[in-house]
């Protein structure tokens, strides 16, 4: 089973969450601010739909195999 989890890197999580607050919920790694870059961004939602394991662009979330 695959599941979206928060990164285990506590420092990165804290940094990204702070930046999300400052950016109104938009991915801090993207220059454009639109619905596609609102966290969880469209790129990662598409990866989830495709079942691709890995991290989102900013590293806050990851799609992982869990038991």
Q: What is the pLDDT along the chain (67 residues), one digit of tens a residue?
A: 899 999 999 999 999 999 999 999 999 989 999 999 999 999 999 999 999 999 999 999 999 998 7
Question: What integer pLDDT is reported at residue 20 of this predicted model?
Answer: 97
Alpha-carbon span 30 to 10, nearest angstrom: 21
**Comparing C-alpha atoms, which of 41, 46, 47 is closest to residue 60?**
41
Q: Which structure tokens are listed for 60?
A: 């806050």
Q: Which helix H or strand E contains 50, and what residues bound it?
A: helix 42-50
55 with 4: CB under 8 angstroms? no
């Amino acid at each position: 089973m695959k599941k979206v989890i928060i990164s285990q890197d506590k420092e990165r999580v804290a940094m990204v969450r702070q930046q999300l607050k400052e950016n109104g919920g938009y991915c801090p790694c993207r220059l454009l601010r639109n619905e596609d870059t609102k966290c969880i961004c469209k790129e990662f939602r598409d990866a989830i739909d495709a079942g691709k394991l890995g991290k989102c662009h900013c590293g806050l979330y990851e799609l992982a195999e869990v038991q």
